[in-house]
Amino acid sequence: MNPANYLRHFFQKNGMTLGLFLLVAVTFWMFILIILPQLFMVDFSLSRNLPPAELGGPQDVMTLEHYKFMIYGSAQEAGSYNTVDLGVFVRTLLAALFVTIFDLAICYPIAYYLAKVAHGGWGRLMVLSLIVPFWVNEILRAFAFRIMFGSAGVINAFLMWAGIIDQPYDFIPNNIALYAGLGYAYILLMIFPLYNAIESLDKNQIEAARDMGASWLHIHRRVVIPFAKPGISSGCTMVFMLSAGALAAPQILGGPSSLWFTQIIYQWFNTGGNWPRGSAYAIILLASTILFVLLVMKVFKVKLGEIAK
C-alpha cells in the first residue's frame, strides 16, 4: 500500500480530529522522545567536550576519544588499560548477574509455592501482600537496609546478642548490604512473571509426572521449568537490567570498594563535567544491556513479547 493511499485510508477510518491526534501524539512520542534523543546522545558521545563558545568551530570534530578513554584511560601509552573503569564495568555486570541468580533462586520456590501449593484465598492474599513493600519508594527501601545493616542496626544487634560477634560488623565495605538491598529491590519483578508462568501450568501435568514416579527434582527440571521459561527469561532480563542500571541502591548502600558503573556515569555529568564522556559510557551501558537481552532471548528461545507487567 503506498503511503498516500495509506494516509487517505487512515483519515477515512478515523476522521480528521482523531486521526490528527493519533498521528501527532505517536510521532511526537516516537521521534521527539524516543528516537531522536538516543541519536543525539550517540552523536554527542562522539563529540569533544567543548565549552559552548567553541561549538561549531574547528575543534568540533567527531572523535572516539571517550570510548577509547574507557578502555585505555588517559595514559595514552599502548598496552596500558583503564583498569579502574573497565574493572567497575565488569564488576557491575557480574554483580548484576549475581543478583539476578540470587533473586531467581529465592523467588522460584516462592512463585511455585504461591502458584501451585498455597490454597485459594490464602494464596491470593499472599500474592497481594507481595506488592505492599513496593509501595514504598526505592530510596526509602535502600535506607531501610542501610539502617538495618548499620552498626546501630538490628542485624548487628542480633549478632552481638547471639554472641556471634562482639563488635559491630561493618557490612558496607564487603557489599553484603548492597547485594541484599539490590536483591530485595527487584523481587517483585522476578516473582510476578514466574508466578504468572507457573500458574498457567496445568496442575495435572505435575500430578501425572508424580504418578509416574518422578522425583521432585526431575519434575521441576523436565516439566515446570521448561514451561515457565518465558516467565524466567522475562524476570531475569528485568532484574539484570535494573540491577546493572541501578543508581540509588549503590549510592546509598555502596561502600568505597563497590563503585557501580552508573555512579561513574553520574560523576562524569556531575563533578567530572564531561557530558560527552558520560554519554559514551551511558551508551556502553545501553549496548551491554541490549546484548544481554538478545542473549537471553536466544538462549531461552523466547520472543520480545515477554514484557507483561
Partner 1 sequence: MMADRLRKIFVIAFVIMFFAYLFGPLILMSVSAFNSSAFPRVTPFECFTVEWFDVLARDATLMEGLRNSLIIGFGVMLIAVPMGLAGALMLTQVNQRLRPWYYTIVISPILIPGVVLGISTLVFWDRLGVMFGAGYDSIFYNGIFLTIVGQSTFIAAYSMLVFISRLQRFESAQEEAALDLGATNVQAFRKVLLPFLKPAIGSAAVLAFLASFENYNTTVFTIVSESTLTTVLASKVRYGINPSISALAVVIVVLTLFGAVFYEILQRREAAATKASEAVARGETTSRAQQAALYADPAVIITLLVFLAGFGTVYFAGTMGVDECKIAVKEEKLQRAAERTKMRQSLEMFKGAAPGAQTGTAAPGAPKERAKGTEGYEGVFAPGNLGTGSDTPPKEEEKKEPEKIESPGKSQFQNIFDPANLQQQSGSKN
Contact set for partner 1, span 66-105 (CB under 8 A): none
Question: Residue 70 or 285: which CB sits closer to partner 1?
Answer: 285
Element (H, E) at 6: helix 3-14
Rounded CA separation 186/142 (Å) = 12
- Residue for grid cell 598496552: 79
Contact indicator for 233, 302 with CB cutoff of 8 Å: yes
3-state secondary structure of 30: helix
Contact indicator for 235, 191 with CB cutoff of 8 Å: yes
Contact set for partner 1, span 21-50 (CB under 8 A): 21-22, 25-26, 28-30, 33-38, 40-41, 44
- Each residue 134-173 as x (binds partner 1 by CB under 8 A) or -, in order, gives -xxxxxxx-xxxxxx-xxxxx-xx--x-----xxx-----
Question: Residue 294 or 299: which CB sits closer to partner 1?
Answer: 294
Task: Select the span of 6-14, 72-80, 193-201, 222-230 touching partner 1 (CB under 8 A).
Answer: 6-14
State the minimum distance, in angstroms, from the CB of residue 77 to partner 1.
Answer: 30
Contact indicator for 260, 225 with CB cutoff of 8 Å: no
State the minimum distance, in angstroms, from the CB of residue 236 to partner 1.
Answer: 13
Query: How large is the C-alpha radius of gyration of the chain?
Result: 25
CA atoms within 13 Å, Cβ hemisphere of 103? 33
3-state secondary structure of 63: coil
- 125 is a contact residue toward partner 1 (CB under 8 A): no
Size of the site for partner 1 (CB under 8 A): 91
- 178 is a contact residue toward partner 1 (CB under 8 A): no
The residue within the footprint of partner 1, chosen from 7, 55, 94, 125 (CB under 8 A), is 55
Question: Residue 37 or 226: which CB sits closer to partner 1?
Answer: 37
Contact set for partner 1, span 261-280 (CB under 8 A): 262, 265-266, 269, 275, 278-279
Helix, strand and coil content of the chain, in percent to the nearest 5, comes to 75, 0, 25
- 122 is a contact residue toward partner 1 (CB under 8 A): no
State the minimum distance, in angstroms, from the CB of residue 80 to partner 1.
Answer: 28
- 298 is a contact residue toward partner 1 (CB under 8 A): no
Rounded CA separation 51/230 (Å) = 48
Which distant-in-sequence residues (6+ apart) come within 8 Å of 218 by Cβ?
Answer: 209
Rounded CA separation 194/100 (Å) = 13
State the minimum distance, in angstroms, from the CB of residue 76 to partner 1.
Answer: 26
Contact set for partner 1, span 216-245 (CB under 8 A): 216, 241-242, 244-245
